[in-house]
Amino acid sequence: MSTAAATGAAAVTRPAGAATGGVLRQVTGFGSNPGNLTMYEYAPVDLPANAPLVVALHGCTQSASDYHTHSGWQKFADQWAFDLVYPQTNSTNNSSSCFSWFDAGKDTRGKGEAASIKQMVDYAVAQHGSDPRRVYVTGLSAGGGMTADLLADYPDVFAGGAVDSGLPAQCATTLSGASSCQYGSLNLTPAQWGDKVRNSYPGHTGPWPRVAIWQGTSDTSVVPVNGTELRDQWTDVWGISQTASSTKSLVGNTTESIYDDADGQPAVALFSVSGMAHGLAVDPGSGADQCGTAATYYIDTICSSYHTALFWGLDGSAPGGGTGTLPAPTGVTVTATTGSISLSWNAVSGASSYAVYRNGTKIGSPAGATYTDTGLAAATSYRYTVAAVDSSGAVGAASAAVTGTTTGTAPSCYTDNNYNQVRQGRAHQSGGYAYANGSNQNMGLNNVAITHTLKEASPGYFVIADSGCTT
């Protein structure tokens, strides 16, 4: 793999709320960093609040700068306004600078590299006001294996993931077991693969991340059966069939197979690139669906980052993109009050209903050309798109995105580890545990490994608001 060093990435310590201004920068002081990783971040100029966040993990012998330069993610971060975080490992952690997807002490919830990456997410969300419901993770090779582990470890954090030439979640738990995953099959059933995810965070029942899988048919470093096993694993987790709901041919000799959830929305996608060896699929050029630059382990076939972003709905459309032929609604307008946003648009001929998306997630299916979104946080911006749905249920093209901002005063919310929450006077400790001031809710052990969001519901009265800080 490419051995480009992280040159040009200036090391800075950013104060709270500071923007990065479209430059790849090193971030220090993001947490206790038990996995000994380095954090880099790229934030487009004028990044809005409630924007998505994408975490991108490099492959062995690569760096954050190398991945940023070649993968193509910067193009879409600029175009669709989302933050990018690039964790970087090193030769101290692994002689080839691989993420430790095969080490149970480093790739499980709350431990090692996985915990460091979670701290990076918390830090970035707090700094930019990113939407915690739209955090995604992607990675190549060993970074892909760690991506799958992170999706299993933190399904409550990541809304989606993309595993590029990688391994199923928890395929190996020791270094000696890694080769069996890379070069062969463990011959597990879909249910056994699914159990590896479910056992990574027992008690979690959903929602589960939407997972894109990229695999070359001529890969000899991570053999193609891994793509099939990833498909089996995540369709089983979702409780859906291993038979594709739809397939289509894309550029670069790529076959896209989509596996829909119970609502008919894409939950898992398998992109099989015929003839591609081990690496990340890129497609240099200026076209809307092109990205990246070719280099060692960056293979000129198809822009995987573009299709992954569409699958997650980062362009503001439905996750997976529309499949129908109806045109996009025009004239979408918004009006806002405290706690609600109303939308209206021009009716589309042939539409039997409409799909309304807030921040890339479907929230309503009105029959007419109006919709009111309620129960929203005060003084908060939300991004909406609308698509027409025909009588067969096929979703057409999405409208241009519009933004509505609710009125009122936003609550004060603070995301930090338990130790710092106590130090800042938002919580107190007793018997080694941290408790939120006022509500006295148990936050877990008083240490830096556990992070919560606290909302100040009234002066000096704090409640846990990990699922979203709303009024």
Give the active site residues. Answer: 141
Task: Provide the residue type at 397 as one letter.
Answer: A
Query: Listing from the earlier edge strand, what are the strands of the sheet with 412-417?
Result: 412-417, 451-458, 461-464
Residue with the two structure tokens 């001529």:
218
Pick from 324, 220, 308, 321: nearest CA to 270? 308
Decide: 170 and 229 in contact? Cβ < 8 Å. Answer: no
> Distance of CA 223 to CAs 15, 60, 67, 320, 462, Å?
44, 16, 22, 26, 50
Structure tokens at 150: 């992170």
What is the DSSP code string of 394-450? Answer: -EEEEPPPEEEE--S-PPEEEEEEHHHHHHTTSEEEETTEEEETBT--EEEESSSS-
| Secondary structure (3-state) at 75 | helix
Q: Give the single-character DSSP code of 258.
A: E
Cα–Cα dist 90/273, whole Å: 30
**Per-residue buried b or exposed e for 77-109, using 16+ beta carbons within 10 Å of the residue's own CB:** beebbbbbbbbbbeeebbeebbbbbbbeebbbb
What is the DSSP code string of 38-95? Answer: EEEEE--TTPPTT--EEEEE--TT--HHHHHHHHSHHHHHHHHT-EEEEEE--TTT-T
> Distance of CA 106 to CAs 34, 62, 170, 276, Å?
9, 19, 11, 30
**Phi and psi angles of residue 80, each rounded to the nearest 5 degrees, phi first:** -110, 5
Query: Which helix or strand (DSSP H or E) is residue 99 part of?
Result: none
- Give the number of C-alpha atoms closer than 13 A to the C-alpha of residue 39, restricted to the C-beta side: 28
Q: Give the single-character DSSP code of 48.
A: P
Decide: 252 and 221 in contact? Cβ < 8 Å. Answer: no
